[in-house]
Amino acid sequence: MKIAVLPGDGIGTEIVAEALRVLQALDLTFETETALVGGAAYEAHGHPLPESTLKLAKDADAVLFGAVGDWKYDKLERSLRPEQAILGLRKNLGLFANFRPAICYEQLVDASSLKPELIAGLDILIIRELTGDIYFGQPRGRRTAVDGHFPGADEAFDTMRYSRPEVERIAHVAFQAARKRSKRVTSVDKANVLETFQFWKDIVTEVGKEYPDVELDHMYVDNAAMQLVKAPKKFDVVVTGNMFGDILSDEAAMLTGSIGMLPSASLNSSNQGLYEPSHGSAPDIAGKGVANPLATILSAAMMLRFSLNQPEAADRIESAVKHVLAQGLRTADIWSAGTTKVGTREMGDAVVAAITKKTITG
């Protein structure tokens, strides 16, 4: 088993270090190789996704990714910006299915900005299509407007598009995931305005006929954004496009207490996967040792389950996380009165201790 480790920028290096220590505590046999990605790779090699990093990721059984980006790169030409590294990895590895589970752990009910009764017991799964939509559609760019409200003015444009097979395959992923859960899928679209999403809705409905045991409903994205904070537990599996999934998953993160709690798995059709927290490089707290490493540690658990066929090891990590939360340990983002504030490293230490001392009670 080979894991490509790509820590990236900002808090990426801090949180991936903790996830690696947790993996090492499991006494499994695997090889890791670390490479630069994002702004760090741009500084060293002049490109955010050097060929050598891409090759390492392609050849590995799984990729453990931190985060990329920093405000200082915002003026670079787009193809050299750190974010192009994660987009390039998703595209080149064909990682079309992004699982973002939003689970509110019992101990963190008070950490969320929502009322406890709305989120206690929350367990929803956002499935975000990850290699299509307006993120990758061509053409895109700048030009002089020939029509519209201001002919002759400078304008910018992107292309929203989905092909039938792209929608079909993510719909199958969602229905199959729902079969292992509460057998309910909500497809989120903007079919009332966008042709791309009427097409999406029609195809998801067609695919849904192959899964008569799964209940399907459709919701417009603006309503979904509202329902997620009004009655989040009404959702089970949510399937949506790339851009809506990006936005709704950050919103869902707050239902779990913090974006520092939301892991993710991005899979291709061979179950090769990239595992990363749903958050970014958090330049505002980078280097301070205060970032929450749990989303990355939980992403490592997803990696063991989905790509490395080690479900028991994944369970051990998840139980260890619950154990440290039950001990009252909290990084600043999930801290509340009566709990103990710890830094990134101490949180990692506590998870490692829970695994190695086998004191986990679940």
Ligand X SMILES: CC(C)[C@H](C(=O)O)[C@@H](O)C(=O)O
Ligand Y SMILES: NC(=O)c1ccc[n+]([C@@H]2O[C@H](COP(=O)([O-])OP(=O)(O)OC[C@H]3O[C@@H](n4cnc5c(N)ncnc54)[C@H](O)[C@@H]3O)[C@@H](O)[C@H]2O)c1
User: Judged by CB under 6 A, does residue 68 bind ligand Y?
Assistant: yes
Residue 42 appears among annotated catalytic residues: no
Binding mask 244-263 for Mg ion (x = CB under 5 A): --x-----------------
Q: From the candidates 105, 246, 275, 333, give the one annotated as an active-site residue.
A: 246
Q: Which of 196, 292, 299, 307 binds ligand Y (CB under 6 A)?
A: 292
- 306: which 2 tokens? 């989905």
**42, 73, 135, 211: the active-site residue:** 135
Q: How far apart are the first and last CA of the chain?
A: 28
Number of residues that bind ligand Y (CB under 6 A): 22
Closer residue to ligand Y (CB): 107 or 186: 107
Instruction: Kindly indicate which of the ranges 7-15, 22-30, 81-89, 219-227 contains the residues binding ligand X, using the contact rule CB under 6 A.
Output: 81-89
Which residue is at the shortest CB distance from ligand X? 83
Establish whether 135 is a catalytic residue: yes
Q: How are beta strands 123-129 and 273-275 bridged, if at all?
A: unpaired
Q: Catalytic residue at 202? A: no
246 binds ligand X (CB under 6 A): yes
Question: Which among ligand X, Mg ion, ligand Y, none contacts residue 87 (Cβ within 5 to 8 A by kind)?
Answer: ligand X
- The answer to whether 84 and 78 are in contact (CB under 8 A) is yes
137 binds, among Mg ion, ligand Y, ligand X, none (CB under 5 to 8 A by kind): none
Query: 327 to 356, contacts with ligand Y by CB under 6 A?
Result: 333
Q: Could you say which of 13, 272, 278, 292 contacts ligand X (CB under 6 A)?
A: 278
Query: What is the C-alpha separation between 248 and 225, in angstroms, rounded?
Result: 7
Nearer to ligand X, 83 or 318 (CB): 83
Residue 156 identity (one-letter amino acid): A
Question: Which residues are documented as binding site?
Answer: 90, 100, 128, 222, 246, 250, 280-292
Active site (catalytic) residues: 135, 190, 222, 246, 250
Judged by the rule CB under 6 A, the positions of this chain that interact with ligand Y are 11, 15, 67-70, 83, 86, 259-260, 276, 279-285, 291-292, 295, 333
